[in-house]
Amino acid sequence: MIADVPRRAPGSALEAQVRVISALFMRELLTRFGTSRLGYVWLIGEPMMLAVMISTVHWLSGSHLPNDLPTFLFYGMGYVPFMMFRSITSRGASAVTSNMSLLFHRSISLLDLMIARNLMEMMVCAAIVLLFILGGMLTVGEVPSDPALLILGLLLSALLGHGLAMVLGSVQVFLEFTERLVHPFTYILMPISATFYMVEYMPPEAREMLLWNPLVHVHEMNRWAMFGDRVVPHFDLGYVMIWVIGLNLVGMAGLRGARPRLSMSD
């Protein structure tokens, strides 16, 4: 399978890079899910089950979301974008160390490995988001208030995860123990990222602290794009863009610095 990765021809760098990433993308897809449909079913079933459980607990408690927001869709649309970020960050961070053998091919760069793996995670999670939206439309007639803004929010969530994955992946080349810290770090982020709540209902002091986290802005923007005037959003698109650009630039620089270290260890 490795031998099928196309080599880059002089004069067609962009076209060859697309072909390389496409081949790596298919390799990642087969590695992640294989030929069994069970893997795809579980990928969709995990966020569905979590949304159902949280919605059920919320319903049994007798409480209601403000402005009659649909409980299942509210929690599902909060968790799936975070799951996208978490999957891209945690799995992307290990793309370098788990694909060392591929680096013997001159046509493959560390950035190619990152893009292929993270693109696969983004597309899969985006498909799950689409299923939640279709479910909301069919069951409760809930249509996204601003589809374009919702797509932008999902893209920003993926780009934040991609940038952080590159940073963590390059750090792991120099400090191997950091690989064990990635998963706990992403889980710690969940309760402070407004995944299951709106910051409007937090105390002002807590709200100010939470808004330092760019993921909070993304989730608030997604809720505004989904539910419109029924929620009071708190987000700054410019602030999120600064984080996206900064993480991706630092991540690409880190990968460039990590590549010679890998060559010396070959």
Written as tens digits, the pLDDT of the chain (266 aa) is: 444 544 545 556 677 778 878 878 787 777 766 656 666 676 666 666 776 777 677 667 666 777 878 887 888 888 888 888 988 898 887 777 777 777 677 777 788 888 888 888 888 888 888 888 888 888 878 888 999 999 999 999 999 999 999 999 888 888 878 878 888 888 889 889 998 889 998 999 999 999 999 999 999 999 999 998 899 999 999 999 999 999 999 999 988 888 777 754 55
Q: Give the pLDDT of residue 245.
A: 97
Query: How many angstroms separate the CA atoms of 182 and 176, rounded?
Result: 11
The predicted structure's pLDDT at residue 2: 45
pLDDT at residue 38, as a whole number: 67
Dist. CA 17–CA 114, nearest whole Å:
13
pTM: 0.84
Q: How far is CA 73 from the centre of its chain?
A: 19
Angle at 25 between CA 19 and CA 28, to 5 degrees: 145
Query: What does the buried/exposed string (b/e) look like for 108-140 if buried means 16 or more CB atoms within 10 Å of the residue's CB?
Result: bbbbbbbbbbbbbbbebbbebbeebbebbeeee
Distances (CA, A) of 234 to 100, 178, 265: 42, 33, 47
Report yes or no: 254 and 166 within 8 Å, Cβ to Cβ: yes
In sequence order, the 6+-apart residues with CB closer than 8 A to the CB of 223 are 74, 77, 78, 198, 231, 233
Cα three-residue angle 137-143-145, rounded to 5 degrees: 165
Cα distance between residue 188 and residue 181, in whole Å:
11
